[in-house]
Structure 1
Amino acid sequence: MTDPAAPNIPVVRVGVSGLPNLTDSMTIGGAYVLVAETPSARFPLLAASLSSALEQGLPCTVIVPANPEQFIQRIDSFVPLDAVTLIANKSLQLFVMQNEFSKAMFRFGADAFAEEMEEFGIPENSYLIFDQADELLSLHDISLALEQISVLGKWFAQRRITALLVFSRVTEANAGTINAIMDNLSGIARLGGDKDGLELTFDYWQSPEGAIAARHYILLTDELGLYQASTKSTPLELVSESEPSSRTDAPDTASARVFYMDPDLGSLAKLTPGGWQYADTLIGMMHASRNLPTATCILSFQHDTNLRQLAEAIHTLRLTLGRKALLVVQEKGASLRYQNEALLLRLGVNLVIHRDVPTSRLTLLLESIRGQVFNRNVDINFEAALASVVPTMLRGYLMPTHFVREVETIFKRSATLDIPCALIIGTPLPDTPMEDLLGNIALSRPGDLSTASESECFIFLNACPQSVLLATVERIVHGAIDTVFADVKFLVHRDEINTELAAMTRSAALGSVPDYTEISRTWVAALPATGSSVPNVQQPTPSHVYLDKLSTAPMGNGVSATTAPAPTSPRSDVSDLRYIPPESPHVLTDGEWTREEATSTNAKPDTLGQATSFGRHSAPRAKRSSIARPQSPHGSEATEGTSFLGVNIRH
């Protein structure tokens, strides 16, 4: 199977036999989280997923906290891997975290870690598994965790790396953070056990064929110890006591009634078992499906679809048909915005089928959700929910006081569904007048606003998930952020944004504020389709050490494995990695690797042999904002050597 958006790249599988494509596949470049509530239960899933990717010819990278030989042995016990050959031909790369990795992530930021992964040559169009990724994100600090996952998610998406981050030590205290970062992820799944056995729960999951939420599966094991998904319903899927029946058995496919609005599905209806009936309007759909609690309704979303009417029809169908009915929205020549998709899923939709999914796969998608019971509470104020996704009709530049009023109005409207918003505060480069900067900002969506003080530019983005925030801003300002702003802050929490709005209101009350209305209009009208008048400046590359790359497979049983040291210059190709014998003196110029640093206290032994830590001279991390940005390695503060991940060298 391939992603319709990238037909030449294999799709990564979760690794559980019997799962439908909607939950078994991952979108290319997506960041996914697996919370292993039963940590030891993760290995069969990781083994099957890794093996499937390797069999499809997809380059794979695995990052582990320690003892890579133990990880390979556990994987090999389920699916035999020729690790020596795979590492030799670069189909598989293994990296080991260094001491105090979490402290390094806090001090230098996720952006520097992403740069280091790129230095080590983690390939594009590949699969990355980060096992025990609990130290990758600062789960005790929601704001910092949001920064980190936003930067990493952007890097994965740019390089089309599908990433699976496995957390094995998540506590109840961290649950709020995991939920908070969901907007930056393509999916979250939980693996744990209860009285019915092992269970895999998908809180939210995006696949090449659509998005689903709240899906639960009981896991069984086959003769190899790998997982198989059972069709047995979990307790979360049971119908509430207020409903007439609590049976969750799926209806027989042949007798199921399917109602559809897309006339192009007529040919498919003739070839598919069951009673398919065409309904040309939403009213017709609701009338035809009445009194059929197990009906399947396929509604269409097109360019001319009225969102309010579609949402109202979905909410009415869910309330009248009950939890067993299957409600599907098929995108037809148009795509739902993020907030609109969230609204429909909240009001009762089981599945949104993306516009790129061919019609021939529709029956398989319907079969994959057959028997599902909708378990979210739909007793919601419809008008309030709809208002959450309907922005103000204004867009573009506003005077500061008007800007504040409009943002506050949007906040009030979007409170019901907690639609994500962001405020970007940037200081222009010294040689860029504020008029030029405002004129270069292209805002086309209602609810996206801008304003400015004498020294700072403010951009408010409504319903913008953090996973695409940086890319969206760079598109709006027609250039990389560091080529447009001398300094920039990203605020994604409403209390932080409200603080800035209050400060803006006080400044406006104390004195005159500049009015760029006419200048902004003139520049927007003359704005070219592409390009920017701001010169493109190469961003500096951090030079911190995070990863230890194994050059041969860990063998275990006391046999150590050799490793290749990190690159000697930023962004050098993996083929440039050189082995430095520990006994030979090697003193390089400033900014390169130094042999003396190998004797630092960060050096640590492990089961692979003597671990030697090499450090780089780097500037301390600058004060962070809500979204981390690459910091220059040549700061004004005193530098010091730092080690994040050791380099294992066989003596």
Structure 2
Amino acid sequence: MPLLAIPGLGAEHSQFHDQGLYWLACDTTENAATLCRQVIAAMPEQGRAALLGDARVMQESLEGLDPACGPAELALYEADTRAILQLKDDLPRIDLPGRVLVALVPTAAWEGGKVERWCQTLRQAALAAGALIVVISEGQSASLIERLRAFNQSLDGLAQLYRGQGGVRYLQHYWSNLLGVVGPMDVELARQASGFAVAGRLQPLSDAGGDELLCLAQSQVLEGAPALSEHWQVFDSISELGAKAGRAVSATVIFAMDGGQRLDVLARQLHTLRQLRGNALKLVVREMAPTLRYQDEQLLLACGASQIVPFGASLSRFLTMVDSIQGYVWPRHLPADFDALLARLRPLPICGLVAPRAFAEAVQQMWQGHRNGEIVHQLLVLRPAPGLSPLQACSRTVFRRDGDIACVVDDVLFLFLFACRSEGVEQALDHIFQLSWKELFIGQEVLVSLDSLGGTAFLDETIPQPPLAESLALPAAHKRPALAPRQITLRHWGAK
């Protein structure tokens, strides 16, 4: 019997059906590779298996696999995103009948795609072939999880590994096997040499309270439309809505966020409701004007929001998104101290080029929210092109946001970008450097820890002074030829 093989999980939470489709969503490539290795290692020796995915991730998954563990036959298939989306058509080449197929897939493959149809056709193929397919996705995508959770007819089990509370947690949305069907369960995991293991007590999430069909909403979110059914109650003010929601158990509570609404007031309201009413309450924020930045969204989510509907979503799309979270239980841990949470998710009032010591101290303080899994920052090391010093490269920079700071240490530039996702790094650099940063720097390294900030060089309190912008000269190899006018002669068309 195939197993998920996380020590500490009961059989009802870890056994697979012999045939069907399961989805395990991991927020990082490292976690996906570790979980994949555990699944393969737990397969029976007499079994037949196949591993499909990106070559680099497959190699990372198989490194450290005990040769004495796992199936006697493991076929490897390299696949890019296009091949993954067309996997059903390639299943005959895999010789699927009787196999366990583990598919390592990037979450980004389904941005705007029809993952529901993909799951439906893949599960039908698995059942027809008497095979088991385990999809392990890598990369963060809350929207993908919500789509999969709402489409549970085509999945036998859905679970995710995510960073939270300073570690890794395992959230099982639902799981079915020969022992029956189990509902939501959240548990902390410990990382061991052999992989993940349960570190705490299994926590079944709270039950519904009988008002799960009730929708309490601010009137703005319906764009002037009346209450949509007898299950909807509409309120003109946030205080009236909050008072009614304070007596709910598992209802859907919908707040409007526009330019006139203070973010900290809404965040505190969400935190209070989540603290008083528990995890079954569904708290939705609809953005009525383009006001929320990434760090604002992370604050609302950390304070208890179940879903944020972005500005621009039509009324029908908004209602579809609300329908998709019915039965949802908030999976995160709520920090008890709201003010401390707010401080972690807000930048210090500092920006620009600073002394190494000030840089190290500020980054260490702002890094706390990143360490807890509440927000993502970027710590970069940029190496200037030959002939340029880091200060020269900084002579034409504009730092517009608090928390974006830089310093020079050992002839390289350390740059910290507050509340910046990895896909936004290049855009952030474009905004900071007035000249092409790709020409100013020949190397860019992303640091995942603060270990390098502990060196003696970061005790220097000297505030750097970049040279005047007019004095900056790019190295010859990077100079573009000067433009000069030249004379041309025009003649009539057809002239000889």
Residues 593-604 of structure 1 aligned to structure 2 (within 5 Å): none
How far is the alpha carbon of 1:329 from its aligned partner?
0.9
- What's the RMSD between the two structures over aligned residues? 5.4
Gaps of 5+ in 1: 1-35, 47-73, 75-94, 107-115, 137-148, 192-196, 205-212, 222-229, 238-244, 525-532, 537-651
Report the CA distance shift for 1:45/1:324 in structure 2 as closer, same or farther (over 3 A): closer
| Alpha-carbon distance between aligned partners in 2 of 1:349 and 1:304, rounded to the nearest angstrom | 19
Q: Look up the equivalent residue of 2:345 and give its one-letter code.
A: V
How far is the alpha carbon of 1:438 from its aligned partner?
0.8
Which residue in 2 is equivalent to 1:234? 183
Which residue in 1 is equivalent to 2:464? 515
Residues 606-621 of structure 1 aligned to structure 2 (within 5 Å): none
How far is the alpha carbon of 1:404 from its aligned partner?
2.2
How far is the alpha carbon of 1:286 from its aligned partner?
1.6
Which residue in 2 is equivalent to 1:466? 422
How far is the alpha carbon of 1:427 from its aligned partner?
1.6
Any idea what SS the aligned residue of 1:464 has? Answer: coil
The equivalent position to 2:448 in structure 1, one of 492, 500, 522, is 492
Residue identity (%) = 19
Q: Look up the equivalent residue of 1:315 and give its one-letter code.
A: H
Which residue in 2 is equivalent to 1:201? 159
Which residue in 2 is equivalent to 1:307? 263
Q: Deviations over 1:45-74 (max 9, x none)?
A: 89xxxxxxxxxxxxxxxxxxxxxxxxxxx9
Q: Look up the equivalent residue of 2:208 and give its one-letter code.
A: T
Any idea what SS the aligned residue of 2:326 has? Answer: coil
| Alpha-carbon distance between aligned partners in 2 of 1:490 and 1:402, rounded to the nearest angstrom | 20
Which residue in 2 is equivalent to 1:332? 288
How far is the alpha carbon of 1:318 from its aligned partner?
1.7
Report the CA distance shift for 1:161/1:235 in structure 2 as closer, same or farther (over 3 A): closer
Report the CA distance shift for 1:534/1:424 in structure 2 as closer, same or farther (over 3 A): farther
How far is the alpha carbon of 1:301 from its aligned partner?
2.4
Any idea what SS the aligned residue of 2:217 has? Answer: strand
2:233 pairs with 1:260: no
Which residue in 1 is equivalent to 2:236? 279
| Alpha-carbon distance between aligned partners in 2 of 1:200 and 1:503, rounded to the nearest angstrom | 48
The equivalent position to 1:401 in structure 2, one of 334, 347, 357, is 357
The equivalent position to 2:393 in structure 1, one of 426, 437, 440, is 437
2:460 pairs with 1:504: no
| Alpha-carbon distance between aligned partners in 2 of 1:371 and 1:325, rounded to the nearest angstrom | 10
How far is the alpha carbon of 1:420 from its aligned partner?
2.8
The equivalent position to 2:59 in structure 1, one of 102, 105, 130, is 102
2:308 pairs with 1:352: yes
Report the CA distance shift for 1:383/1:200 in structure 2 as closer, same or farther (over 3 A): same
The question of whether the paired residues in 1 share the 8 Å contact of 2:304 and 2:330 is answered with yes
Which residue in 2 is equivalent to 1:387? 343
Residues 498-577 of structure 1 aligned to structure 2 (within 5 Å): 498-506=451-459, 508=460, 515-516=464-465, 519=468
Q: Look up the equivalent residue of 2:361 and give its one-letter code.
A: R
How far is the alpha carbon of 1:474 from its aligned partner?
5.3
Which residue in 2 is equivalent to 1:321? 277
Q: Look up the equivalent residue of 2:465 and give its one-letter code.
A: Y
How far is the alpha carbon of 1:459 from its aligned partner?
0.9
The equivalent position to 1:248 in structure 2, one of 208, 211, 216, is 208
Which residue in 2 is equivalent to 1:619? none
Residues 163-242 of structure 1 aligned to structure 2 (within 5 Å): 182=139, 198-201=156-159, 216-217=173-174, 234-236=183-185
Higher RCO (CA-CA < 8 Å; seq separation 6+): 1
| Alpha-carbon distance between aligned partners in 2 of 1:104 and 1:295, rounded to the nearest angstrom | 42
Q: Deviations over 1:589-615 (max 9, x none)?
A: xxxxxxxxxxxxxxxxxxxxxxxxxxx
Any idea what SS the aligned residue of 2:297 has? Answer: helix
Q: Look up the equivalent residue of 1:248 and give its one-letter code.
A: A
| Alpha-carbon distance between aligned partners in 1 of 2:471 and 2:416, rounded to the nearest angstrom | 19
| Alpha-carbon distance between aligned partners in 1 of 2:445 and 2:62, rounded to the nearest angstrom | 19
How far is the alpha carbon of 1:488 from its aligned partner?
2.8
Residues 60-79 of structure 1 aligned to structure 2 (within 5 Å): none
| Alpha-carbon distance between aligned partners in 2 of 1:96 and 1:499, rounded to the nearest angstrom | 34
Q: Look up the equivalent residue of 2:378 and give its one-letter code.
A: A
Report the CA distance shift for 1:317/1:534 in structure 2 as closer, same or farther (over 3 A): farther
Q: Look up the equivalent residue of 1:297 and give its one-letter code.
A: V
Any idea what SS the aligned residue of 1:483 has? Answer: helix
How far is the alpha carbon of 1:392 from its aligned partner?
0.6
Any idea what SS the aligned residue of 2:279 has? Answer: coil
The question of whether the paired residues in 2 share the 8 Å contact of 1:346 and 1:378 is answered with yes
The question of whether the paired residues in 2 share the 8 Å contact of 1:37 and 1:168 is answered with no
Q: Look up the equivalent residue of 1:363 and give its one-letter code.
A: L
Gaps of 5+ in 2: 1-13, 25-48, 64-77, 91-100, 123-131, 150-154, 163-169, 187-204, 481-496
Q: TM-score, normalised by structure 1?
A: 0.45
Report the CA distance shift for 1:103/1:324 in structure 2 as closer, same or farther (over 3 A): closer
Which residue in 2 is equivalent to 1:13? none
| Alpha-carbon distance between aligned partners in 1 of 2:236 and 2:391, rounded to the nearest angstrom | 54
The question of whether the paired residues in 2 share the 8 Å contact of 1:384 and 1:416 is answered with no
How far is the alpha carbon of 1:424 from its aligned partner?
1.2
Q: Look up the equivalent residue of 1:516 and give its one-letter code.
A: Q
Which residue in 1 is equivalent to 2:382? 426
| Alpha-carbon distance between aligned partners in 1 of 2:18 and 2:314, rounded to the nearest angstrom | 38
How far is the alpha carbon of 1:39 from its aligned partner?
9.0
The question of whether the paired residues in 2 share the 8 Å contact of 1:183 and 1:465 is answered with no
How far is the alpha carbon of 1:217 from its aligned partner?
4.0
The question of whether the paired residues in 2 share the 8 Å contact of 1:426 and 1:456 is answered with yes
Q: Deviations over 1:6-38 (max 9, x none)?
A: xxxxxxxxxxxxxxxxxxxxxxxxxxxxxx984
The question of whether the paired residues in 1 share the 8 Å contact of 2:176 and 2:182 is answered with no
Any idea what SS the aligned residue of 2:158 has? Answer: strand
Q: Look up the equivalent residue of 1:234 and give its one-letter code.
A: G
Q: Look up the equivalent residue of 1:462 and give its one-letter code.
A: F
| Alpha-carbon distance between aligned partners in 2 of 1:423 and 1:477, rounded to the nearest angstrom | 16
Q: Look up the equivalent residue of 2:158 and give its one-letter code.
A: L
| Alpha-carbon distance between aligned partners in 2 of 1:476 and 1:367, rounded to the nearest angstrom | 41
The question of whether the paired residues in 2 share the 8 Å contact of 1:127 and 1:162 is answered with no
How far is the alpha carbon of 1:358 from its aligned partner?
1.0
Report the CA distance shift for 1:132/1:322 in structure 2 as closer, same or farther (over 3 A): closer
The question of whether the paired residues in 1 share the 8 Å contact of 2:212 and 2:327 is answered with no
How far is the alpha carbon of 1:453 from its aligned partner?
3.9
Any idea what SS the aligned residue of 1:267 has? Answer: coil
Q: Deviations over 1:608-640 (max 9, x none)?
A: xxxxxxxxxxxxxxxxxxxxxxxxxxxxxxxxx
2:249 pairs with 1:289: no
| Alpha-carbon distance between aligned partners in 1 of 2:212 and 2:60, rounded to the nearest angstrom | 55
Any idea what SS the aligned residue of 1:269 has? Answer: coil
Q: Deviations over 1:531-572 (max 9, x none)?
A: xx9669xxxxxxxxxxxxxxxxxxxxxxxxxxxxxxxxxxxx
Report the CA distance shift for 1:251/1:101 in structure 2 as closer, same or farther (over 3 A): closer
Report the CA distance shift for 1:350/1:474 in structure 2 as closer, same or farther (over 3 A): same
